[in-house]
Amino acid sequence: MKKRLLTIGVCMIALGAASAPALANDGYDLWLTPAVAGTAAPDIRVIGQSETLTLAAGELRRDLAASPLPVVLARADDPALAALRLSTATLGEEGYIVRTATIDGRPSLLVTGKTDRAVLYGAFALIRAQKTGVDLAAINLTSAPKIGLRVLNHWDNLDGSVERGYAGQSLWDWWTLPDFKDPRYTDYARANAALGINGIVINNVNAKPESLTAPYIAKAAALADVFRPWGIKVYLSARFSAPIELGHLKTADPLDPEVQAWWKAKADEIYRAIPDFGGFLVKANSEGQPGPRDYHRSHADGANMLAAAVAPHGGIVMWRAFVYAETDPDDRAKQAYTEFHPLDGKFADNVLVQVKNGAIDFQPREPFHPLFGAMPKTPMMLELQITKEYLGFATHLAYLGPLFEEVLKADTRAKGTGSTVAKVVDGSLYGHKLSGIAGVANVGRDRDWSGSTFNQANWYAFGRLAWDPTLSSEAVAREWAQQTFGNDPRVIDTVVRMMMQSREAVVDYTGPLGLAHLMGTGHHYGPGPWISDLARPEWNPVYYHKADKAGVGFDRTKTGSNAVAQYEPPVAKLLADPRTTPESELLWFHHLPWDWKMKSGRTLWEEMVAHYDRGVATVAQMQAEWQGVKGSVDPERWQKTATYLEIQHREAKWWRDASLAYWMSVNGLPLPAGAAAPEHDLAWYKAQDFPMAPGHPH
Ligand code: GCV
């Protein structure tokens, strides 16, 4: 008995840190805040039986405050609902209906869908509706996800570190798996299910072969067991050369029958342990990873071999298009398109090509990747980065919703106006059945999961936009804020205002007007626009900005790399002319003189300085706004955020000052009147060194 009580106690601490936190609010609950104690518990009835339905009811009991009507959970095909003649045609497997209905003669709040997981999603939608102020007595929601695969990519290593992770060690304790299933795994699944995320790649794309060995398959299976009732499948990153490393074959050539047989046997082994295994994610021939090109085979050859191995089990392959080679003298921004565009139509039916939002690498702003819309016969999966490798790690407040929205709404013009990236990705533009979106997770073992309260919003925004890529990032910010901070309108308005200007602020103080890739080497922390001595040309920031006395920017027009030609003609035409290129992307596409006249009437140099200053000023403004809600937000989260804003302000100023010191050393221009001189000279900024910065293997 004593032991049982102890177990219950431990579980309560682990799972319900929410219910009795030692400190005011450490952020553990995310958007799953329990209903305020003392409100009348709603009457919940479950028709039908399954683990998932039971979990859905549990979520409602925990998080739904008093309901005006009893809540009924049931699958849409349950005879108890027959009289309602529900229209379920548009729901698919995951869509839900939440509405009032009379069931067995009782006015009720019905949560239904064709499958148990759809009902689970409906339960979360009902909770979200209540927390965002919807009148439940009149609720009438029908919603189905537009994108099929909504997947988090963990760049978690088997040694517990996380590549580009800023929220502590990996959530997965590989060492104690599969025996010990940390209750956090369940809470993680709950948080994801609440957003509709239905897949998790559990290991880094820079994959170790060991993740495909029997012990690690067993560990993956344990996680899959935890995630399954929450509607989440497990996927693995696969190292292409595993047949050599694990199978002791002489080659990993995808056309070699022995290699094919090895992968088939490996897939069969995985499916024996994880019957609903999702499939493989592959980074091949990129940044030193092995791949089919090592054998003069194409990416399609490699992907199709793996696809054949998982196809009999219903699995898929997500094959990344993030490739660039030092041996290729062409503009790095062009290389993925050059390599993948000719492969359109050559991939097997169960392959998706996973493409980063922009052609370089998750910069604070990049134009949309030209591959979107350029491979009509291939399902294109969008890869976004939730972890803020280039936007201030965990400490800077940068809400990524507007970045995600910007790319999703970008118009490829591939099939005329309105051919948005969202429509490419959700499969509707070209009628693909398979569709997917991936987010590089920002989750670790920190108590608040993501390293800061506001970073949670980026995970949330990814999930919500994955479900419905047409949502506005501002609406998503508001609903996140309401679920995170409660319903004080002054707090919510302040938080949303801060969030909505935050990403642009980072663009301003790190790389305005289309500048990119200006960061320090390796760890990617802080400014390094002067770096020019690294072995590979495209590792150096100077490669990207090409600043000299005469001007700045990368000429990607006909007179330069002609990367603009990779876009559809109407887009290419706009981008070919600096006067019709959006100023926010100007220096991405053009090399312009420092005295180029901007729309504001200022010179390019003056405009750049104004952006740097605006970035720093916006952070100062966010600090002031946050001071204004002191006392209205719990002290723990308020204080941590206030301190992080101080760090951000200091670092924004550092970025601004270091960048300006460098640009002035190149252009020899004075600062515009009124602009403050950098605090230190350029040599000081160059001397800064951060060997222990997080997220990067030391
Ligand atoms: C997982 C960038 C990051 C790498 C990352 C790579 C990728 O280069 O800095 O850490 O590796 O992108 O997306 O594969």
Q: What is the C-alpha separation between 87 and 138, in angstroms, rounded?
A: 18
pTM, two decimal places: 0.96
- Does residue 110 sit in the same domain as residue 67? yes
CATH code of the domain covering residue 638: 3.90.1330.10
Give 328's pLDDT tier (boundaries 50, 70, 90): confident
The percentage of the chain sitting over the pLDDT mark of 70, rounded to a whole number, equals 96
Mean pLDDT (whole number) for 452-481: 98
Ligand 1 site, residue 688, Cβ cutoff 6 A: no
Closest ligand 1 atom to 385 CA: 13
Domain range for 623 is 508-554+591-687
CATH number at residue 415: 3.20.20.80
Structure confidence by residue, pLDDT tens digits, 410-441 = 999 999 999 999 999 999 999 999 999 999 99
| Closest among 307, 310, 244 to 274, alpha carbons compared | 310
Asked if 129 and 240 sit in the same domain, the reply is no
Total domain count for the chain?
3
Statement to judge: residues 513 and 626 lie in one domain = yes
Q: Which of 77, 104, 258, 287 is catalytic?
A: 287
Would you place residue 19 in the very low, low, confident or very high pLDDT band (cuts 50, 70, 90)? very low
Last residue within a domain, chosen from 91, 117, 143: 143
Question: Which amino acid residue places its CA nearest to atom 13 of ligand 1?
Answer: 322
Q: Does a structural domain hold residue 566? A: no
Query: Is the CB of 332 inside a 6 Å radius of any atom of ligand 1?
Result: no
Query: Which atom of ligand 1 sits closest to the CA of residue 524?
Result: 9
Which residue type, as a one-letter code, is found at position 560?
A: G
Shared domain check, 481 and 537: no
Instruction: Please choose, from the candidates 512, 588, 531, the residue with its C-alpha nearest in 3D space to the C-alpha of residue 554.
Output: 588
683 within some domain: yes
Specify whether 167 is located in the same domain as 135. no
DSSP of 198-257: -EEE-S-SS--GGGGSHHHHHHHHHHHHHHGGGT-EEEEE--TTHHHHTT--S---TT-H
* Residue 361 Cβ < 6 Å to ligand 1: yes
The Cα–Cα gap between 235 and 633 comes to 38
pLDDT for 5 beyond 90: no
Quote the mean pLDDT of the chain: 95
Six-digit token string for 573: 């035409």
Q: What value does the mean pLDDT take over residues 546-570? A: 98
Question: Which position among 63, 361, 607, 613 bears the catalytic label?
Answer: 361
For ligand 1, whether the C-beta of 399 sits within 6 Å is no
Q: Considering the domain boundaries, does residue 682 fall inside one? A: yes
- pLDDT surpassing 80 at residue 476: yes
pLDDT digit string (tens) for 64-73? 998 999 999 9
Average pLDDT over residues 100-116: 97
51 is catalytic: no
Q: Which residues contact 639 (CB under 8 A, 6 or more apart)?
A: none
Q: Rounded distance, CA 574 to CA 417, Å? A: 14
What are 623-662's pLDDT values in tens digits? 999 999 999 999 999 999 999 999 999 999 999 999 999 9
* CB of residue 324 inside a 6 A radius of ligand 1: no
CA–centroid distance, 239 to ligand 1, in Å, is 15
The number of residues in the chain equals: 698
In terms of domains, do 243 and 346 share one?
Answer: yes
Higher-confidence residue of 642 and 1: namely: 642
Considering the domain architecture, whether residues 91 and 157 belong to the same structural domain is answered as: no
| HSE toward the beta carbon, residue 456, CA cutoff 13 A | 25
Distance CA 415, CA 428 (A): 11
Quote the pLDDT of residue 24. Answer: 75
| Chosen domain end from 143, 170, 189 | 143
Whether 269 is in a domain gets the answer yes
Q: Is residue 65 domain-shared with residue 120, that is, in the same domain?
A: yes
Residue 155 beta carbon below 6 angstroms from any ligand 1 atom: yes
Q: Is residue 304 part of a domain?
A: yes
Question: 474 catalytic, yes or no?
Answer: no
Mean pLDDT of 505-530: 98
Q: Could you tell me if residue 359 is inside a domain?
A: yes
pLDDT at position 512: 98
Same-domain check for residues 453 and 536: no
Q: Is 90 exposed, middle or buried (0-12, 13-18, 19+ CB in 10 A)?
A: exposed
Residue with the larger pLDDT of the pair 523 and 3: 523
pLDDT of residue 243: 98
CATH number, domain at 108?
A: 3.30.379.10
457 shares its domain with 532? no
Verify that 423 and 306 share a domain, yes or no: yes
pLDDT, position 41 = 81
Distances (CA, A) of 658 to 70, 161, 306, 362, 653: 61, 30, 47, 22, 8
Catalytic-residue membership of 287: yes
Tell me which H or E stretch contains 317.
strand 316-320
The residue whose C-alpha atom lies closest to atom 2 belonging to ligand 1 is 361
Predicted confidence (pLDDT) per residue in 376-395, tens digit: 999 999 999 999 999 999 99
Atom of ligand 1 nearest to the CA of 206: 1
Residue 698, pLDDT score? 66
| Domain C-terminal end among 108, 125, 143 | 143
Domain identity same for 291 and 176: yes
Q: Using the mean position of ligand 1's atoms as its centre, give its distance from the Cα of residue 363 in Å.
A: 12
Residue 456 lies in a domain: yes
Res 126 pLDDT > 70: yes
CA distance 511 to 499: 19
CA of residue 579 relative to chain centroid, distance: 33
Residue 490 is assigned to a structural domain of this protein: no
283 lines ligand 1 (CB under 6 A): yes
User: Ligand 1 centroid vs 443 CA: distance in angstroms?
Assistant: 16
What DSSP string runs through 126-153? HHHHHHTT--GGG-EEEE--SSSEEEEE
Q: Which of 334, 340, 324, 333 is nearest to 380 (CA)?
A: 340
